[in-house]
């Protein structure tokens, strides 16, 4: 099982000091977070893609290419690549290039995004979000697998004998996770292709996550890719830790209250009760994360959000140390207990090249 962190890359004032980092500081901080993730023994770093304030990571492959040059083991991913507003030809070429630079340590998570104004900025209509996601991925899937592609669809100009360059490393396309919070059509898309399904469950109660994951697993088996238990599932999570749980709650509360993603809504206590958010001790994070298996089954990737809402970089790096030293080693051990032999490991380039 893989463990890692993802960042949405928000540029948010620290509510305890009032200071807002510059865009350069925030970008450099994300790089530092990725390097710390490798140092701490985590498996994955994933960056979001946004084209609107207060978020800064508009060019994920640029950032991940830089991180690739400074790491040796870390899997580099996205925590969403916008399949709706990016051209599939550009996605195909950018991520194949990144594959070569990173020696295969690359996958990506495709999603529609949740910011309505982005669509017209890139010449698209949000009302066509699902059809765009379906058509664009159908083309992307072919571009990585066929040397010369003839294509005609609704949303872009036709292609005739087009070859995307460079070709995927070793002839193995980057592994794709289809990310969705609430769209069953995306779970179906992931199942149809036999790709991974990443449910970023940080906003949602267990019952919703269970329904989405079960839908994907059922349809994965329906399309002949294996048993429901062999489907490839990833989950999100959001944690803030201190040795003493009361200290964690007291320190994190002002950040939660102004968080761009979900601040100004339910209380911290209500949100923790209803979603995977865990603010407390490392042991509390372990216990709540292990409970994900009760409703999602045995899964392959667990990513944590640790740097949201203006938290200082020093504090974020402390969170990663706690994950690496106290949380993830226990999770690796406990998630392995009772894991059926037929449940596959998380896909890697080496394993896919070997056909396992």
Which of 180, 261, 247, 296 is closest to 271 using CA atoms?
261
CA distance 68 to 212: 33
pLDDT given for residue 226 in this prediction: 97
Asked if the model's pLDDT at residue 102 lies above 80, the reply is yes
pLDDT (tens digit per residue) in 229-263: 999 999 999 999 999 999 999 999 999 998 877 76
For the chain, give the mean pLDDT: 94
pLDDT (tens digit per residue) in 49-93: 988 888 999 999 999 999 999 999 999 999 999 998 899 999 999
Asked if the model's pLDDT at residue 208 lies above 70, the reply is yes
**In 78-117, alpha helices (H):** 88-101
pTM: 0.94
Number of residues written out for the chain = 356
- Residue pair 205/275 in contact by the 8 Å Cβ criterion: yes
Name residue, tokens 């790491």.
71
Mean predicted confidence (pLDDT) in 188-196: 97
pLDDT given for residue 114 in this prediction: 66
Q: Which two tokens stand for residue 271?
A: 């949100």
pLDDT given for residue 279 in this prediction: 97
Mean predicted confidence (pLDDT) in 103-124: 85
> What's the first-to-final CA gap in the chain, in angstroms?
15
pLDDT given for residue 265 in this prediction: 78
């Amino acid at each position: 099982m893989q463990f890692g962190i993802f960042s949405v890359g928000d540029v948010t004032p620290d509510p305890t000091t009032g200071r807002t980092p510059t865009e350069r500081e925030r970008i450099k901080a994300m790089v530092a977070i990725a390097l710390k993730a490798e140092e701490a023994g985590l498996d994955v770093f994933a960056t979001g893609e946004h084209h609107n304030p207060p978020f800064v990571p508009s060019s994920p492959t640029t950032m991940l290419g830089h991180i690739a040059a400074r790491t040796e083991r870390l899997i580099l991913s996205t925590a969403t690549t916008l399949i709706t507003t990016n051209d599939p030809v550009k996605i195909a070429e950018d991520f194949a290039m990144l594959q070569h630079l990173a020696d295969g340590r690359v996958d990506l998570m495709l999603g529609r995004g949740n910011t309505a104004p982005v669509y017209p900025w890139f010449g698209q209509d949000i009302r066509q979000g699902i059809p765009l996601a379906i058509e664009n991925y159908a083309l992307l899937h072919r571009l990585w697998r066929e040397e010369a592609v003839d294509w005609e669809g609704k949303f872009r100009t036709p292609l005739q004998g087009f070859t995307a360059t460079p070709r995927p490393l070793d002839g193995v396309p980057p592994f794709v996770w289809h990310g969705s919070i609430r769209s069953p059509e995306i779970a179906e898309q992931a199942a149809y292709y036999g790709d991974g399904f990443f449910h970023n469950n940080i906003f949602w109660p267990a019952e919703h996550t269970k329904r989405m994951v079960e839908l994907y697993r059922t349809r994965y088996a329906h399309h002949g890719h294996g048993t429901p238990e062999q489907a490839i599932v990833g989950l999100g999570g959001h944690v803030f830790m201190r040795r003493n749980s009361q200290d964690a709650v007291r320190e994190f509360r002002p950040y939660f209250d102004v968080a761009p993603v979900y601040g100004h809504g339910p209380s911290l206590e209500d949100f923790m009760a209803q979603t995977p958010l865990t603010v407390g001790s490392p042991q509390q994070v372990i216990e709540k994360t292990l409970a994900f298996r009760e409703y999602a089954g045995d899964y392959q990737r667990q990513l944590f959000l640790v740097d949201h809402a203006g938290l200082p970089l020093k504090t974020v790096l402390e969170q990663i140390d706690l994950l690496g030293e106290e949380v993830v080693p226990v999770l690796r051990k406990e998630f392995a207990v009772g894991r059926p032999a037929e449940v596959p490991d998380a896909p890697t380039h080496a394993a896919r090249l070997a056909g396992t």
